[in-house]
Every structure is written in structure tokens, then in C-alpha cells.
Amino acid sequence: MKTYFRLLFVLALSILFAQCKKEIVTVEQIDSQNTIRHAKGFSIQNYEGFTVLTVRNPWPNATKTYTYVLKEKNGIVPDSLKQNPIIAVPIKSIVVTSTTHIPSLEMLEKEKTLVGFPNLDYISSEKVRARIEAGKVKELGMNQNLNTEVLLNLQPDVIIGYGIDNNNPTLDNLQKSGLKVLLNGDWNEETPLGKAEWIKFFGALYGQQKKAEQIFSKIEKEYLKTIRIAQNAKETPTILAGDMFEDRWYLPKGNSWGSLLLKEAKGQYLWAETSGTGSLSLSFETVLEKAKNAEIWITSGQFSSLREMTSANPHYSQFKAFQNKNVYSFSGRKGKTGGIVYYELAPNRPDIVLKDIVAILHPELLKSYKPYFFQKLQ
């Protein structure tokens, strides 16, 4: 009988200790705060031995949340998370699919881990271009039709994809082939600092979260400092943006990050009151009626001179900003193969973009500053 009760006691202890052990690795029992401050599309939560990376809004009106578990060496992932993709970190090789991803790799000093990219000519980064010329970064074709054969040969630790909707069969097929695909929604953020904070997404993959935080905090500090400088402006110039493309004039909606930048530079963007993000599509006549007397015109970047503009559309000369030669473009700074640097770097460095715009709108506030992205068209 004593032996029987002793066995029951040992069994009870075994069950108790098993339950305690299970609780230690159950994610719900661990207190961890999201470390993201501005971005709305993702969150990072750190636990002992692993990190939970959640992407909520990779494209407009997305209804699905994507959860990725970044597992450190010897980390134990709880059963409640094992249905999600598990990525061993720090990663050693990566494929990205947007030029906006390149600056994060470079700022984290991880550009050497890039092994493939779709349409290499779009990349402007000098460091990455040197690796492309050395044959260390492979061409992957078009974004919506990535070269599966090359990717299977490369076997990157992760592929960073993005989508404009819930339909991307190429990424689905790559996942079915066993490759790790993570969605990145930096382009869908509405605020400049929200876009820039996606460097932390890459920091988590490389085990460089502290470094990513330091880089972002510096960008954030400079951005907020420039806002304070702009508040000293005595005037609020009126601003026209964009230009014609295939018989329609495209310009930022009022809630877009471009519109917010103009507002924080203390400019009066003439379509600031419109709702939504992305672009407005208007007729030439509609834009001319409202913005004929706008003081500043910031184009889309497809032109590099005033002559090019009037060659494309002679009616551009009807605008006061054109007549006064107050037209600015970011098309002048290009990479070695023609990629426009602004498209690659600007979302990651809103502090530079904002300082450029303040210098254009209020040159008296930044007398010694020379804009990096923008130049006045001649």
C-alpha cells in the first residue's frame, strides 16, 4: 500500500512539474511590449529565445494578419505558435523585392547578405551595385513573376515580398517549395516615420534590434527637429504637386505621407483636405483651375528640365510656379543604371526629405543647407 501511495505521489509531482515546464514556454504567460512606436503595419514582441513578428497591413484593406516566429539558437517555440512560419535568426542570406528594402540592409551593414533581386537596374545603392557587378546578386526577373528556378538554387534564408492585394501566386508557390517568405508593408504606411520604422523589421531578422532602434531614433530625432524649425516660418507657400501621365494628373491624396511632409514643412498643399492615401487622378483643367497661382510646384520626378515639361505638355507653362521657375524635381539624383535614388532611399530617410522641403519652402530657415533629393528645374 505504501508503495502504491508513493507511486501516486511521484506521478502527481511529475504532472505538476510538467505543467510548470509547459507554462514557462507558453507565450501567453510572458509579458512583452510591442517595441514599434509609429508604424501601424507591424509589431515586434521579444521573448526568451524567440521573437514574434506580426505584419497586419501589407496592402490596403488587408483582412489577414501574418505572424512569423524568429527563433534564436536553442530557443524553444511554444506549441501555440508552431503553426506559424518559423525562421532561424540571425539570417545569413536574403532576397528582397523592393528597392525601399535596400537602405535598411545598408544602414544595418548587411548588404552583403543580399543574394537576389527582381530587375537589378532599379537598385541605386553604390555598395549593392558593386556586388551586382561582381555577380554576387542574382537577377530574379519581374516582381510578380519571380524566377523560381534561380530562387530554389539560391535557397535564401528568407524572401521579403510585398503585394498590392491578396493575389500573389508566385510567393505562394515559393512557400509551397519550402522557402521562407515574409511580407513587408512599408509602402502602405501613412506617415513618414511609420515608413522609416520598418528598419526594425530587418533588424529583428538579423538579430540587430538595438542597432535598428539606434538608427531609427536618430532619424526620428532629426525629423522632429526639422518640424520645430519649420514652425518658425512666417509664410505658408501654396503648393502644387505631381503632373500628367497618360492624360490624367496624378498627385498625393490628403492623408498620404507626401501630403503630411508638405504640411509638416509648413506648406499649404492645395489638396491637403482630400481624404485617403495614395494618389488622386484629375483632369488637367481641374488642376489648372485650382493651382494656376500656386507658388511652388513639386513634380513627380519624370522631368529633369522645364523644356522637357513643355515638350511633354505645352500647357504646363500656364502655371505661375512654372513661369517663375519655382518647379522642383527629385529626378536628378540617379544610380549608375538609371534608378532614381529618391524612390529607393526617401521612404527610409524622411528626415532628409523634410529638410529638403523646408529648404525649398523657407530657405531663410536653412541657409547653409543644400537639398539632397530635390533640385530646381532650369
- Give pLDDT, residue 130: 97
Q: Are 377 and 304 in contact (CB under 8 A)?
A: yes
Distance between CA atoms of 120 and 138, rounded to whole angstroms?
8
Spatial distance between the Cα atoms of 149 and 166, rounded to a whole number of angstroms = 23
Q: Where are the domains of the chain?
A: 28-219, 234-376
DSSP codes joined into one string, 156-206: -SEEEE--SSS--HHHHHHHHTT--EEE--GGG-SSHHHHHTTHHHHHHHT
Q: Which residue has the cell 504532472?
A: 15
What's the chain's Rg over C-alpha atoms? Answer: 25
The per-residue pLDDT for 70 is 97
The lowest-confidence range among 24-38, 60-74, 243-257, 272-286 is: 24-38
**So what's the pLDDT on residue 62?**
83
Select from 124, 196, 29, 153 the least CA-distant residue to 342. 124
Task: Say what the pLDDT of residue 98 is.
Answer: 95
The pTM of this model reads 0.89
Q: Which of 180, 235, 232, 225 is nearest to 355 (CA)?
A: 225
DSSP 8-state symbol, 127: H
Cβ-based burial of 342 (10 A; exposed 0-12, middle 13-18, buried ≥19): buried
Mean pLDDT over 194-199 rounds to 97
Check for a shared fold between 28-219 and 234-376.
yes
- pLDDT tens digit sequence for 19-39: 444 344 455 444 467 779 999
Whole-number pLDDT of residue 347? 96
Q: Which region among 7-11, 163-167, 225-229, 317-321 has the lowest average model confidence (pLDDT)?
A: 7-11
In this structure, the dihedral spanned by the alpha carbons of residues 186, 103, 205 and 55, taken in order and rounded to 10 degrees, is 0
> Distance between CA atoms of 310 and 325, rounded to whole angstroms?
13
Determine contact, residues 209/199, Cβ cutoff 8 Å: no
- pLDDT value, residue 336: 93
Closest CA to 181 of 63, 56, 96, 65: 96
- Between 61 and 273, the higher pLDDT residue: 273
Q: Is the pLDDT of residue 299 over 80?
A: yes
User: For position 32, what pLDDT does the model report?
Assistant: 64
pLDDT of residue 28: 46
Which CATH number is 28-219's, of 3.90.79.10, 2.70.98.10, 3.40.50.300, 3.40.50.1980?
A: 3.40.50.1980
* pLDDT confidence of residue 173: 86
CA dihedral (298, 301, 302, 307) positive or negative: positive
Tell whether the model's pLDDT for residue 192 goes beyond 80. Answer: yes
Mean pLDDT of 192-217: 97
The domain defined by 234-376 carries CATH number 3.40.50.1980: yes
Mean pLDDT in the chain?
90
- pLDDT reported for residue 25: 46
For the record, the C-alpha cell of 107 comes out as 544602414
> What distance in Å separates the CA atoms of residue 56 and residue 49, rounded to the nearest whole number?
23
> What is d(CA 332, CA 340) in angstroms, rounded to the nearest whole number?
8
DSSP letter string, 47-74 = ETTEEEEEE--SSTT----EEEEEEPTT
Express each pLDDT in 75-134 by its tens digit.
999 999 999 999 999 999 999 999 999 999 999 999 999 999 999 999 999 999 999 999
User: For 249, what's the count of Cα atoms within 13 Å in the CB-facing half-sphere?
Assistant: 22
Q: Write out pLDDT tens, residues 329-369.
A: 999 999 999 999 999 999 999 999 999 999 999 999 999 99
Which of the four pLDDT bands, split at 50, 70 and 90, describes residue 145?
confident
Per-residue model confidence (pLDDT) at position 144: 78
